[in-house]
Amino acid sequence: MSFEYLGLSDELLSAVRDAGYDTPTPIQRQAIPAILQGRDVIGIAQTGTGKTAGFTLPMLDILSQGRAKARMPRTLILEPTRELAHQVSESFEKYGKNSKLSMALLIGGVSFADQEAKLERGVDVLIATPGRLLDHFGRGKLMLNGVQILVVDECDRMLDMGFIPDVETICQKMPQAHQTLFFSATLSKEIKRLTDQFLNDPKLIEVAPPASTAATVSQSIAIIGAREKSKALRELVATEEIDSAIVFCNRKVDVKSVYTSLKRAGIDVGQLHGDMAQPDRMDTLARFKSGDVRILIASDVAARGLDIPSVSHVFNYDVPNNSEDYVHRIGRTGRAGRAGISVTLAVPADAKAVLEIEKLIGRPIERKALESVKIRDLSDEAEGAKPKGSARGRSGSKTAKKPADATSDQSTAEKPTADASGDTSAKADDTQKDAPKARADQPETSDQSQPKRSGRRRSQSAKPQSDKKPSEKQQADKAPQAKDASSQPERSDTREKSSASERQASSDKDRRRSSSPKNHDHRRSSHHHAQDDEPDHQIVGLGAHVPAFLQRPVPKRG
């Protein structure tokens, strides 16, 4: 089947032929007629299957009639990244060169003023990232009640990047009569929930299993040591026949370090990550497409945003955190029937992630041998498990100390209990001043509180005899207590003395604080008693608390 049987206009067919395409892909054969009929569509297809043209071509045909109004776009396409948004705009420019439709791109890193100027003139096609779109909407520079077609591209990537709440907000602002198109590499439960909420009787188009990889891509994996990755990558770059290659890293800091390492080796490389300014990112992509840069080091932010058919190699410097990202990464090569090569560098600690990838793609990945580094096996945990083992050892040593500390604390806690049982008779000879300290030493357990209360009653009853010398029996009772105290470890005794001194200081501080207001009240009360003795100077109607300046007698005039 050719494009002529899909119902596209002659202008679009001419643009498609000029782009070098004669036969539509499976996603294009099913999506284009359904979109032209006005149906909502859910397209499940992996990257590189031509799904961008699958919604671009019918949208251009629909927009050929009508005219856009100021700040009211006729169609809206949401993309998760700036690179994807820019590539979709290139697709509209390529296929819409024979039309007079206007287009605007709302992405970060570009001046608001320039984007607002385009919105004021009116646009037929608005391509945006969710965050920047909502920024313009919040400023009152954009209205969405004129949107005829809404396209949410790379829905699964939107979910991974946390844009789903923004997508829901945007969908809720759409007019009631509009067409909605969802495209994704996978159909998760969250995406299914969105489609059930915002799509009306959609047509589900699934042209390939979401976890499949292209048959034209040769996949291999090298199991090496963690510190040998840079050396292994340099060997791969030197030995493989590379036309253009992408090296994927999990972290931005690794992108920078790998870029620096290859740059020092005299290799033409470029880097692409989220911290780069938008002009620098676009310049790097342009140089990579033109061939000025042969190898591109990128983070996953670019895994879905690169549409370069001539990529011959994909190197995974790190095993992806998500097994589905592996499919998206190697989908950058082997496109349009071309052969591609994918090599992944892994360490023994990545054994579980590698097994998940092999389970997802349905076959084992071939092991690759390298000359400059030692090849290991996934079952060899000596390298990968070493950091984890040392960490467990440190935590294990801390865990081993906890029972000893608990025993020490328990013995310390048991000491006051033993002293309390032996001090019942001795407390009768303590002074009233020491009573708060004795009460502070009581444990909080209910089993031991009852003897304490009986000891306090004896102490109160024995107060008149506190000046007498202790009896021989009392001295004999105190001797074992002193012996027990001296037998305690020095560390526990020091801690006990410190806690006792702290309790004594706290008790003295509370007594001073409580005694201060009483003395003040006593002075005030004695003063007012003196005023009561002088009825001639009593201030009537103000009560007992009279300011001092009103209490002075007023001299009588002659």
Model confidence pLDDT, tens digit, residues 344-396: 999 999 999 999 999 988 899 999 999 989 988 887 654 444 444 444 444 44
Residue 237 lies in a domain: yes
Q: H or E stretch including 125?
A: strand 125-128
User: How much is the pLDDT for 511?
Assistant: 57
Which is more confidently placed, 470 or 109?
Answer: 109
Q: Please check whether residues 200 and 335 belong to one and the same domain.
A: no
Rounded to an integer, the average pLDDT of 115-125 is: 95
Question: What's the pLDDT tens digit per position in 332-346?
Answer: 888 766 789 999 999
Residue 497 lies in a domain: no
Q: Please check whether residues 194 and 263 belong to one and the same domain.
A: no
Rounded to an integer, the average pLDDT of 147-159 is: 93
pLDDT at 69 over 50: yes
Query: Any idea what DSSP says for residue 540?
Result: T
Burial 326-363 (b: 16+ CB within 10 A, else e): bbbbbbbbbbeeeebbbbbbbbbbbbebbebbbebbee
Stretch among 32-36, 214-218, 266-270 having the lowest mean pLDDT: 214-218
Average model confidence (pLDDT) across the chain: 77
pTM attached to this predicted model = 0.59
Q: Please check whether residues 237 and 158 belong to one and the same domain.
A: no
Residue 422 lies in a domain: no
User: How much is the pLDDT for 436?
Assistant: 42
Q: Please check whether residues 170 and 251 belong to one and the same domain.
A: no
Rounded to an integer, the average pLDDT of 498-506 is: 56
* Model confidence band, residue 91 (pLDDT cutoffs 50, 70, 90): very high
Rounded to an integer, the average pLDDT of 554-558 is: 66
At 152, give phi and psi (nearest 5°). Answer: -110, 105
Residue 437 lies in a domain: no
User: How much is the pLDDT for 390?
Assistant: 41
Sign of the dihedral through C-alpha 89, 95, 97, 98: negative
Pair of tokens at residue 528: 């007012």
Rounded to an integer, the average pLDDT of 323-329 is: 85
Question: What's the pLDDT tens digit per position in 183-234?
Answer: 998 888 999 999 999 999 999 999 866 556 777 899 999 999 989 999 999 9
Q: Please check whether residues 163 and 286 belong to one and the same domain.
A: no
Rounded to an integer, the average pLDDT of 273-292 is: 86
- Beta carbons of 116 and 142 less than 8 angstroms apart: no
User: How much is the pLDDT for 275?
Assistant: 81
Q: Please check whether residues 51 and 177 belong to one and the same domain.
A: yes
Which is more confidently placed, 477 or 178?
Answer: 178
Rounded to an integer, the average pLDDT of 136-159 is: 94
User: How much is the pLDDT for 459?
Assistant: 41
Q: H or E stretch including 399?
A: helix 386-422
Domain count across the chain? 2
* Model confidence band, residue 278 (pLDDT cutoffs 50, 70, 90): confident
Residue 318 lies in a domain: yes
Rounded to an integer, the average pLDDT of 454-478 is: 45
pLDDT at 443 over 50: no
User: How much is the pLDDT for 524?
Assistant: 45
State which residues form the domain around 21. 3-206
Q: Which residues contact 386 (CB under 8 A, 6 or more apart)?
A: none
Question: What's the pLDDT tens digit per position in 525-542?
Answer: 444 444 444 444 455 555
Q: Please check whether residues 222 and 97 belong to one and the same domain.
A: no
Residue 444 lies in a domain: no
Pairing state between β 75-78 and 103-106? unpaired
Burial 281-313 (b: 16+ CB within 10 A, else e): beebbeebbeeebbbbbbbbbbbbbbbeeebbb
Domain boundary among 353, 388, 423: 388
Rounded to an integer, the average pLDDT of 430-447 is: 43
Domain boundary among 174, 206, 238: 206
Residue 88 lies in a domain: yes
CATH number at residue 160: 3.40.50.300
Q: Please check whether residues 158 and 195 belong to one and the same domain.
A: yes
Q: Please check whether residues 131 and 279 belong to one and the same domain.
A: no
Q: Please check whether residues 15 and 55 belong to one and the same domain.
A: yes
Which is more confidently placed, 310 or 370?
Answer: 370
For the CA atoms of the chain, what is the radius of gyration?
41
User: How much is the pLDDT for 302?
Assistant: 59
Domain boundary among 147, 172, 206: 206
Residue 211 lies in a domain: no
Q: Distance between alpha carbon 124 and the CA centroid of its chain, in Å? A: 37
pLDDT at 143 over 60: yes
Q: Please check whether residues 200 and 242 belong to one and the same domain.
A: no
Q: Please check whether residues 157 and 224 belong to one and the same domain.
A: no
Which is more confidently placed, 479 or 150?
Answer: 150
Pair of tokens at residue 131: 């965050």
